Amino acid sequence: MVHRGKFNARVFLNYLKRLMRQVSGGIYLIIDGHPVHRSRKVRQWAEEQGNRIKIYFLPGYSPELNPDEELNQDIKSNAVGRQRPHTQGELMNQVRGYLRKRQRQPEVVRKYFQEEHVRYAAM
């Protein structure tokens, strides 16, 4: 999900609700310790979902353990790095398009989890 403006609990909850609509089974979500992720609103919402979603927090200051960092590097190298956007709108369109492409390439996404430090997330 790409958004404009400040990242806050409302934005994160919107993302989580969209994720719940898109995934039919249980969800195991691994996230960092950003204050929004640990907010009271997010914790309450997650508790209300029961076993449908389980949230696990990474230890502080450990980006190497975050599988999202593999995707971020992919985007920076292959989506944004190849074609320099001139406006915020162009940047958002490029990133959205690239993410949609990756959604249709599960074999590529699986490779993100083959890095030594993030293999735990694929088990």
* Interval 53-106: pLDDT, tens: 999 999 988 889 988 899 999 998 888 876 788 898 998 899 999 999 999 999
Burial degree of 45 (CB within 10 A; 0-12, 13-18, 19+): middle
Local confidence band at 9 (pLDDT 50, 70, 90 cut-offs): very high
Mean per-residue pLDDT, 41-53: 96
- Bridge-based pairing state of the strands 53-57 and 27-31: parallel
What pLDDT band is residue 12 in, cutting at 50, 70 and 90?
very high
Residue 23: exposure state from Cβ atoms within 10 A (0-12, 13-18, ≥19): exposed
Give 19's pLDDT tier (boundaries 50, 70, 90).
very high
Break the chain into its structural domains and give their ranges.
Answer: 1-57, 62-123
- pLDDT band at 17; cut points 50, 70, 90: very high
